[in-house]
Structure formats: structure tokens, C-alpha cells
Structure 1
Amino acid sequence: MGVFASIVATVVVAIIVKWIWPDFKDRSLYNGIRVEGIWEIIELRNGKNVKVGQIELTQQGRIVKGTSTRTKTRDGKKSERKFHYHGFINGHQATLIFEDAKGVGFDTGTYVFTVQNDAKTMVGMATFHGKAENKIVSEPRTLIKAVC
């Protein structure tokens, strides 16, 4: 009987720690901004704003994770590259580290965005290793919340 009670107690604690507490903390205790959802990635190319992909973010409290599909390269060619993201929210700033989903080459970098007051726009910079330039590059990026 004691062994069964220990197993039940362990299962109950595991459920609370794994699912109930994080969900409660996210819904009830976190009062920061929310960036969860699908966002269009916009780049400034030749003086024009160009949609180059889409990123889908999930959020639990301050922690943000996501994936994106890049539909255009920096030089305007078609692309289907996928990236994984992880990062966090601090105030109105979203910091995301991204890496190629295939893990190929040195394709990692960061996004640092300021979430605007409308909560539908994020403005910031992407920093990564530019292969054409063979150096670290920083470029402006804008994320606009997609209408679903």
C-alpha cells in the first residue's frame, strides 16, 4: 500500500510541476506583453518593404519559441529555408536567437525587437553572419502580426 501511495504522489507532483503550475503561472501571474501568433517578416530592400517570410511564435510567460519559413533570400531569390527560434520577453523588448532547422553551416543569429504599443508590430534588428560579406551583419527587420 505504501509503494502505491508513493507512486500516486509522484505522479500527482509530476503533473502539477509539468503542466498545472506552468499554465497557471503563464495565465495568472505573467502580466507582460504577448507575442504569440503568426507574424510576417518584413525587410527593407532597395528602399521598399518586402515580405520575406513568416514566423510562428509560442509563448509561456517570458519564454518565446517559434519556427519560421523564409520565402525569399536577401538577394530576392525564392527560398524555403526553415529556422527555429528561442528567446524571451523583457518589458517591451523581444530577444530571439535563431538557427537553421537543418543545423547546416553557421546559420545562426539574433533578432532584437521592440514591441510597439499596438501589439501588432515589432521593429528591430537582425544580426547574423553574412556569407556574401563574410562578416557579422545587422539589418533592420519589422514583424507585422498576420491576420488569421
Structure 2
Amino acid sequence: MTADGVWLYWAAPTGPFRRIRTDILRDANLSDDELAAHVEQLANIPLSGGCAMDTAGNLYISDIDNHRILLLQPSGKLVTMASDPRLLSPDGGFIGSDRRLYVPAPQTERTQLFGNPTDLTTKPFQILSLALPKSFDGTGLGDAVTGRLR
């Protein structure tokens, strides 16, 4: 949900990313079909383990298959923000009060669950972090969404 509580965003792990205004969700008089008509599709995304949102409405999406973090800007533009081979099965990240994006790398793709003959994970398990600049690709980046009213 956006920091101002106006939009709710969601996606299945395989996408697409969607959103709806929260005032529409609270309207008990709308039928399911009327409600569905208000859902907006923002972007197709690759297989994702989760995302984080900043106060400017940017979404930081983990891309499992390509070991990267994508930035979905409020305009709907999707760009690669970071790529690193250590991002093994990047999971849902979060933004700390220090303006760093923290992303766990649990190595899920290396487990037997994903067809490996044995558990191929290696220790230590990592949480990678990235300092967020004030802007990226011409878009201003926000702070951590805290849930506190300003």
C-alpha cells in the first residue's frame, strides 16, 4: 500500500503487477464485476519473490531468475536497478530507516524443492543491501514506508 494509503498494489509471483484505489475497495455497494473494472494492470514482471515500496510510490521487485532488483516507477516504467549473482532467489525486501534496500538471498533455487538431487545451499545465508540514491533513471526515490502518519 502506498504511504498515503490511497493505493493497494499486488502481484502473483509470476505477475502482472496490479493496483486499485483503497476507497474503491471500501465501497461495499460495488459488485465483484464493478470492483474488477477498477483494477489497473501496471506491468508484467518476471518470477518474483516479493517487493518493497518507498514513500514516492516506487516498487523494488526481486527478479528470481535473473538475480536482480527491478524498479517499477510510478509511471509504470520498469528498469533494472541492481544485478548481482549473489542475489540467489531474492526474496521480499524492505527499506530501512537508513535509506537502504535490504534483500534476503535464501538460495531457494538451490534446494531439493527445485529439483536438485541434494541441498546445494551454501552458508552463510545473506541479506544484501543497496544504498538508495535520491534518484534513479530520472525518478526520485523515497524513504521507508513506516505506517506512521506525517
What is the TM-score normalised by the length of structure 1?
Answer: 0.32
Question: Which structure has more helix as a fraction of its residues?
Answer: 1
With the length of structure 2 as denominator, give the TM-score of the two structures: 0.31
Which structure: greater strand fraction? 1
Which structure's CA Rg is the greater one? 1
